[in-house]
């Protein structure tokens, strides 16, 4: 792989991950604002502090709501710091793509989709600590090209290519709010195996989902 191709791929991955990060930030803020716990605690405090001491309701409510809002902001910042590593563009493969994938060709694979000399999609497989199980990752399609079958085409190519590797199953992890990926992987025969807490700072919480697929034959669904 030429150096300029690697640069194009890295730029593509960095951009898609940055877009995903911005989108996820919005999703998580929405979840925080729709979480009933901060509102419940505020109401409870307003009743228990305001009523017995006969304090002005508006002033007490204002103070309590501001305090809860501030505490939520601090907690959210801690939570976001913990969870946003999902979108980090660091990775042992990204420092030198061709070296990483070529040095273990029996277990690693990296495919790209191109259009007009632009990278519009990527997918990769690498080994896990469990013999016979490969990890699917770097599954990205350019936002302007989604829902056009490009992800499915990459997946289909990968299922063909992976037959020459030493895997009987593939697994991957994604986060619970990534509904498009969850739907996409389910369409390609991956089944949910395990849900674990990935990041938690009260009242925010995010689960990671482990998906797995047994490899038997070439996919023909798409
Ligand atoms: C997930 C992703 C790779 C799918 O690529 P794509 O090229 O858009 O997928 P396809 O067009 O082949 O879609 C195949 C099927 O997946 C499902 N799907 C894809 N995007 C979806 C979405 N936004 N919402 C719901 N279902 C979706 C649908 O079932 C779709 O079939 P349909 O279009 O006939 O309904 C792409 O959305 C993406 O890059 N997302 C951001 C990166 C990411 O989350 N990667 C996974 C990290 S673990």
To test ligand 1's pocket by mutation, which of 137, 184, 206 has the most ligand atoms within 8 angstroms of CB?
184
Nearest protein Cα to ligand 1, atom 24: 180
Output the CA–CA distances (angstroms, integers) from residue 83 to 2, 15, 31, 166, 201, in the order listed: 34, 18, 14, 32, 10
Q: What is residue 55's predicted lDDT score, i.e. its pLDDT?
A: 80
Give dist(CA 142, CA 122) in Å, integer: 9
Q: What is residue 160's predicted lDDT score, i.e. its pLDDT?
A: 95
DSSP helix/strand/coil, 170? strand
Q: What is residue 54's predicted lDDT score, i.e. its pLDDT?
A: 78
| The Cα angle at residue 75 between residues 70 and 77, in degrees rounded to 5 | 95
Q: What is residue 177's predicted lDDT score, i.e. its pLDDT?
A: 97
| The Cα angle at residue 15 between residues 122 and 170, in degrees rounded to 5 | 30
| Residues in contact with ligand 1 (CB, 6 Å cut-off) | 20, 139-141, 146-152, 174, 178, 180-181, 183-184, 187
Alpha helices (H) in the chain, listed in sequence order: 3-33, 36-45, 57-83, 97-102, 150-161, 179-187
Q: What is residue 4's predicted lDDT score, i.e. its pLDDT?
A: 81
Give dist(CA 82, CA 75) in Å, integer: 11
Long-range CB contacts for residues 41-45, cutoff 8 Å, separation at least 24: 41/68, 42/68
Contact between 136 and 124 (Cβ < 8 Å): yes
What the chain holds in terms of domains, given with CATH numbers, is 3-86 (no CATH), 88-214 (3.40.630.30)
Q: What is residue 217's predicted lDDT score, i.e. its pLDDT?
A: 54
Distance 151 CA to ligand 1 centre (A): 6
Nearest protein Cα to ligand 1, atom 48: 174
Nearest protein Cα to ligand 1, atom 4: 151
The answer to whether the predicted template modeling score (pTM) of the entire model surpasses 0.75 is yes
The number of angstroms, rounded, from the C-alpha of 136 to the middle of its chain's C-alpha atoms is 13
Distance 145 CA to ligand 1 centre (A): 10
Nearest protein Cα to ligand 1, atom 35: 147
Residue of 179, 182, 111, 114 whose CA lies nearest to 142: 114
Q: Pick out the chain residues at pLDDT < 50.
A: 219-220
Q: Is 25 left (phi over 0), alpha (psi -120 to 50) or beta?
A: alpha
């Amino acid at each position: 792989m030429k150096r300029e191709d690697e640069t194009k791929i890295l730029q593509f991955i960095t951009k898609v991950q940055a877009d995903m990060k911005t989108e996820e930030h919005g999703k998580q803020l929405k979840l925080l604002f729709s979480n009933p716990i901060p509102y419940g605690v505020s109401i409870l405090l307003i009743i228990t502090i305001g009523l017995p001491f006969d304090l002005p309701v508006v002033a007490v409510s204002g103070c309590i709501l501001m305090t809860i809002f501030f505490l939520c902001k601090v907690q959210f910042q801690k939570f976001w710091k913990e969870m946003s590593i999902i979108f980090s563009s660091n990775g042992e493969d990204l420092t030198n793509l061709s070296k990483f994938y070529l040095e273990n060709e029996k277990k690693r694979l990296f495919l790209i989709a191109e259009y007009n000399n632009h990278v519009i999609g990527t997918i990769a497989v690498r080994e896990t600590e469990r013999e016979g199980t490969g990890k699917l990752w770097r599954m990205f399609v350019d936002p302007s090209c989604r829902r056009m079958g490009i992800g499915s085409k990459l997946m289909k190519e990968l299922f063909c290519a992976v037959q020459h590797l030493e895997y009987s199953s593939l697994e991957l992890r994604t986060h619970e709010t990534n509904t498009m990926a969850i739907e996409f992987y389910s369409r390609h025969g991956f089944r949910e195996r395990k849900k674990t807490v990935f990041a938690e700072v009260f009242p925010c919480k995010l689960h990671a989902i482990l998906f797995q697929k047994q490899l038997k034959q070439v996919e023909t669904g798409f």
